[in-house]
Amino acid sequence: MNLPVVYSVLVLAIVFEVLGTSAMQAAQHFTRLGPTVVMIVCYAVAFYFLSWSLRYVSVGIAYAIWSGLGIVLISLVGLVVFGQKLDVPAIIGLGLIVAGVMVLNLFSKSSFH
């Protein structure tokens, strides 16, 4: 399988995970049915796409990309949608996460198997 397709599927997994986590926030401790259902569906789709990508990307690299980019994206959603503030140390930490994911993708030879 070619690299752009595999990483596109992994990005889809991350997007659905972020949507699911956003829905979890909106579900208000599972007291709202609509967001709860959206959360469950999004997580199911996210894990399907993640499991598909694991055929081609090692689990450690895939999970690092999944969690790193997921953290950054959900932090941005929290900021924009839910009005949650990020202080300077949080922004620096998120930048370090992005840098780590970039190092893994640009320099690691262990990403594909």
Residues near 58 by Cβ (< 8 Å), separated by ≥ 6? 110, 111, 112, 113
82 CB contacts (<8 Å, ≥6 apart)? 25
Structure tokens given for 101: 């994911």
- Asked if 30 contacts 79 with a C-beta cutoff of 8 angstroms, the reply is no
Q: What is the pLDDT of residues 73-107, one digit of tens each?
A: 999 999 999 999 999 999 999 999 999 988 887 88
The 10s digit of each residue's pLDDT in 6-50 is 999 999 999 999 999 999 999 999 999 999 999 999 999 999 999
pTM equals 0.86
**Distance of alpha carbon 94 from the chain centroid:** 13
Dist. CA 70–CA 18, nearest whole Å: 6
pLDDT of residue 112: 62
